[in-house]
Amino acid sequence: MFQSILSNLAIILLTHLIMSMLMHYRKRITSFTYHTLSIILVSCSIIAMFYLPIRFGDFWLDMRFIPLVFFAYFHGWKIAISSLIIAGFWRFLMGGDGMVPGILFGMIGPTLLALAFHSRANIESNYLEKLSLLIGCWLICDIPIIFAMPNGLEVFKDIAFIRSISFIITGIIWYIFIMQNRQLKYLYDELEKQAGEDPLTKLLNKRKFFDVVTDKVKSLKPNHYIAMVDIDHFKNINDTYGHLIGDKILIDVAHILKDYETKFIQVGRYGGEEFIIYIGNTTNEDAKKLIEQIHKKIKEHEFIIDEYQHIKITASIGLASLEDNSTLLHTVNKADINLYRAKQSGRNRFVCS
């Protein structure tokens, strides 16, 4: 019996390990692929338990509901219901006297109960509720034994302690692993975000900007543009009002540019007082109009120095299109040259090519 319990536990932990790997690579695969592989994984783990039953005297039981309950509770209906249908159909094909109650009470009932609590899955501190849910699912599975078998109450009493303890311990172990994975994912996402984010303006830094825009150039339609934006006389602002005010102006300009971000427009900080903008899937005229709007917005915006003093600033902008058989780096260089021309022409203007 204990060997069978450990076998079921091993299947559950292996399922968790493979699911963790899937979640790690989730950003690299399509949503359809992720959900399809998840459904196959959960279905296979449940079906494997059909062939590794836990023997209690003359009765054969398993832990099939645990993967369904956990995936329903933490991931929602898409994975849980699909896996339930596949595993339920497999159990139907296997036949046997326990087929109908096994599907209804061992799979459908616990899954629906877990789905009812799915919206509360992120409330990490409510441990009593989670434990109660697990016990409730176990009772849905095993209480029918009382009514479906001869001497059902006696059988239930004989197996209740071992069944409940094995379910609770397995559930706690899996829950701990899931929480550890979530914490590791959170830390990984934070590190990834910080590695690609400018700490002052919260825009993409140069390295991350190039990574993101490279992907956009590959996936979006032709006609891509790069604009370089430079705040005019920024050194004078720092010398006159101090570097803290200079930083505040950089943040305010970043907010202005950030408001224009869409699927086809990406903003980053290039360095110092320079910002970089990607514009995709547009025409030359529309790209120019957008830059004119940004130029006007910066020019008309009042930047707060203190409670009594506001100032206005201007910016110079260079715009360049990504030509066929050219590279992103070459286009950035062209935009930078146009920015230099704008500054040489008296600043507060934009030059395009």
CATH label of the domain that carries residue 83:
1.10.1760
Q: Residue 156: what pLDDT?
A: 78
Query: What is the C-alpha separation between 22 and 298, in angstroms, rounded?
Result: 44
For the residues of 119-131, what is the DSSP string, one character each?
Answer: GGTT-TT-HHHHH
Together in a domain, 37 and 161:
yes
Together in a domain, 309 and 234:
yes
* Of the residues 130, 165, 195, the one at which a domain ends: 195
C-alpha radius of gyration, the chain, whole number? 30
Half-sphere exposure of 12 (CA within 13 A, CB side): 27
**Residues 227-261 pLDDT 10s:** 999 999 999 999 999 999 999 999 999 999 999 99
Half-sphere exposure of 348 (CA within 13 A, CB side): 7
| Residue % of the chain over a pLDDT of 70 | 97
Together in a domain, 182 and 264:
no
Pick the more confident residue, 85 or 145: 85
Does 93 score more than 80 pLDDT? yes
For the residues of 178-225, what is the DSSP string, one character each?
Answer: HHHHHHHHHHHHHHHHHHTB-TTT-SB-HHHHHHHHHHHHHHS-S-EE
Together in a domain, 250 and 117:
no
Binned at pLDDT 50, 70 and 90, residue 56 comes out as: low
Q: Compute the mean pLDDT over every residue in the chain, rounded to the nearest whole number.
A: 89
Q: Which two tokens stand for residue 252?
A: 């305010």
Average the pLDDT over 178-184 and give the result: 84
Amino acid at 81: I
Q: Which two tokens stand for residue 69?
A: 């309950």
Q: Residue 124: what pLDDT?
A: 62
- Least trusted range by pLDDT, from 33-47, 178-192, 235-249, 296-310: 178-192
Determine contact, residues 306/249, Cβ cutoff 8 Å: no
Binned at pLDDT 50, 70 and 90, residue 2 comes out as: low
Average the pLDDT over 53-82 and give the result: 83
* Of the residues 137, 167, 195, the one at which a domain ends: 195
Q: Does residue 128 belong to any structural domain of this protein? A: yes
Helix (H) or strand (E) holding 278: strand 274-280
Q: Residue 58: what pLDDT?
A: 61
Q: Residue 291: what pLDDT?
A: 96
How many domains are there within the chain?
Answer: 2
**Residues 295-351 pLDDT 10s:** 999 999 999 998 889 999 999 999 999 988 889 999 999 999 999 999 999 999 999
Q: Does residue 162 belong to any structural domain of this protein? A: yes
Q: Residue 310: what pLDDT?
A: 93
Together in a domain, 139 and 240:
no
Q: Residue 128: what pLDDT?
A: 82
Binned at pLDDT 50, 70 and 90, residue 204 comes out as: very high
Binned at pLDDT 50, 70 and 90, residue 100 comes out as: confident
* Phi/psi of residue 233, nearest 5 degrees: 55, 40
Determine contact, residues 77/115, Cβ cutoff 8 Å: yes
Binned at pLDDT 50, 70 and 90, residue 286 comes out as: very high
What residue numbers bound the domain in which 229 lies? Answer: 206-352
Residues belonging to the active site: 273
Together in a domain, 291 and 333:
yes
Residue from 230, 249, 190 nearest 344 by CA: 230
Together in a domain, 142 and 242:
no
Together in a domain, 113 and 66:
yes
Q: Does residue 261 belong to any structural domain of this protein? A: yes
| Residue % of the chain over a pLDDT of 90 | 52
Q: Does residue 62 belong to any structural domain of this protein? A: yes
Q: What is the pTM of this model?
A: 0.62
Binned at pLDDT 50, 70 and 90, residue 164 comes out as: confident
Q: Residue 111: what pLDDT?
A: 93
Q: Does residue 335 belong to any structural domain of this protein? A: yes
Q: Does residue 80 belong to any structural domain of this protein? A: yes
- Give, as one character, the DSSP assignment of residue 262: B
Together in a domain, 88 and 236:
no
Q: Residue 125: what pLDDT?
A: 62
Q: Does residue 201 belong to any structural domain of this protein? A: no
* Of the residues 175, 195, 215, the one at which a domain ends: 195
Average the pLDDT over 5-29 and give the result: 85
Does 113 score more than 80 pLDDT? yes
Together in a domain, 330 and 261:
yes
What's the CATH code of the domain at 266? 3.30.70.270
Pick the more confident residue, 98 or 279: 279
Together in a domain, 301 and 255:
yes
- Give, as one character, the DSSP assignment of residue 59: E
Together in a domain, 37 and 173:
yes
Q: Does residue 200 belong to any structural domain of this protein? A: no
User: To which residue do tokens 């690579």 refer?
Assistant: 25
